[in-house]
Amino acid sequence: MIFVRDNDVAGSTPVDNIFIIKHMFSAPEEYVKIYLFALMQSYNTAIDMDMMSSFSLDEQTVLDAFAYWQKMGLVEIISTEPIKVVFKSQTMLRENSVIPEILMGKNGKIVEYLEKKFPLVQFSRSQIEKVTDWKDVFGLDEDCIFLLIDYCIKLKGKKVTINYMDVVAKSWADNGVLTRESAEDYLKNYEERISGATQILKRFRVSRQPTEDELALYDKWTKQWGFDNEAILMACSETTGAYKPSFAYLNSILETCRSNGASSSEAVHEYLKNQDRLYELARLIFERANIKRTPTKTEREQINMWVNSWHMDSEVLLYAGECANGLSSPFAQIKKFVEYWHNMGIRTYSLAKNAKPEFNMTSTKNNGSQTGRTSKKKYTDDELRAFGIDV
Q: How far apart are CA 101 and CA 128, in angstroms?
A: 11
More confident residue, 251 or 95: 251
Q: Are residues 292 and 348 in the same domain?
A: yes
Q: Assess if residue 270 is contained within a domain.
A: no
Instruction: Please say whether the beta carbons of 58 and 64 come within 8 A.
Output: no
Considering only 22-36, 251-265, 340-354, which range has the smallest mean pLDDT?
22-36
Which of 95, 117, 152 is the C-terminal boundary of a domain?
A: 95
Per-residue pLDDT, 379? 56
pLDDT digits (tens, 9 = 90+) for 59-102: 888 888 888 888 777 888 888 777 888 887 654 444 444 555 55
In three-state secondary structure terms, 151 is helix
Q: Are residues 312 and 372 in the same domain?
A: yes
Per-residue pLDDT, 24? 85
Per-residue pLDDT, 12? 74
Q: Assess if residue 101 is contained within a domain.
A: no
Q: How far apart are CA 143 and CA 152, in angstroms?
A: 14
Q: Assess if residue 156 is contained within a domain.
A: yes
Q: How far is CA 251 from CA 25, 54, 76, 233, in A?
A: 67, 69, 53, 12
Whether residue 372 has pLDDT greater than 80: no
Per-residue pLDDT, 90? 52
Work out the average pLDDT over 246-251: 93
Whether residue 115 has pLDDT greater than 50: yes
Q: Assess if residue 268 is contained within a domain.
A: no
Which of 178, 205, 233 is the C-terminal boundary of a domain?
A: 178
pTM confidence score: 0.51
pLDDT-based confidence at residue 324 (cuts at 50, 70, 90): very high
Q: Assess if residue 272 is contained within a domain.
A: no
Q: Are residues 76 and 118 in the same domain?
A: no
**251: how many CB neighbours lie within 10 A of its CB?**
17
Q: Assess if residue 308 is contained within a domain.
A: yes
Rounded to the nearest 5 percent, the helix, strand and coil shares of the chain are 60, 5, 35
Q: Are residues 294 and 347 in the same domain?
A: yes
Q: How many domains does the chain have?
A: 4
Which of 156, 178, 200 is the C-terminal boundary of a domain?
A: 178
pLDDT-based confidence at residue 373 (cuts at 50, 70, 90): very low
Residue 24: domain span: 2-95
Q: How far apart are CA 321 and CA 339, in angstroms?
A: 13
Q: Are residues 286 and 363 in the same domain?
A: yes
Q: Assess if residue 130 is contained within a domain.
A: yes
Q: Are residues 220 and 252 in the same domain?
A: yes
